[in-house]
Amino acid sequence: MEVAIAAKINDARFPQRLRGYNIGDVDQFLADLAGRLIGGQEVNAEDLRRTRFRQTLRGYGVQEVDALLRDIELGLTGATPPPASWP
């Protein structure tokens, strides 16, 4: 499972927005996360929830990055995603 999550992280691409998450911060965090998963190190959902990225001009789309982090969390916990009509 961890290898599949790491592959999803490595394949992720985000649109750039006028205002968004700092690209370097996101890229570094995701590279470290994928490395930890591939290396068999423990990663838990709390690690993802505590993550904060600086916002900047011309950064990655916030919604898209947050959606990937939610998907990763669901993959780590084995939880079922909420229905599309979830608020």
Mean pLDDT score of the chain: 89
Q: Quick check: is 84 in a domain?
A: no
Note the pLDDT of residue 35: 95
Q: Quick check: is 52 in a domain?
A: yes
Q: Quick check: is 87 in a domain?
A: no
Q: Quick check: is 85 in a domain?
A: no
Q: How many domains does the chain have?
A: 1
Q: 6: closest CA among 30, 41, 27?
A: 30
How far does CA 59 lie from the centroid of its chain? 15
CA distance 61 to 67: 10
Domain that holds residue 60: 2-77
Q: Quick check: is 20 in a domain?
A: yes
Give the residue-averaged pLDDT of 29-56. 93
Tokens of 34: 């994928």
pLDDT in tens, 47-78: 888 999 999 999 999 999 999 999 999 988 88
Q: Quick check: is 86 in a domain?
A: no
Q: Are 61 and 17 in contact (CB under 8 A)?
A: yes
Q: Quick check: is 63 in a domain?
A: yes
CA distance 82 to 32: 28
Q: Quick check: is 83 in a domain?
A: no
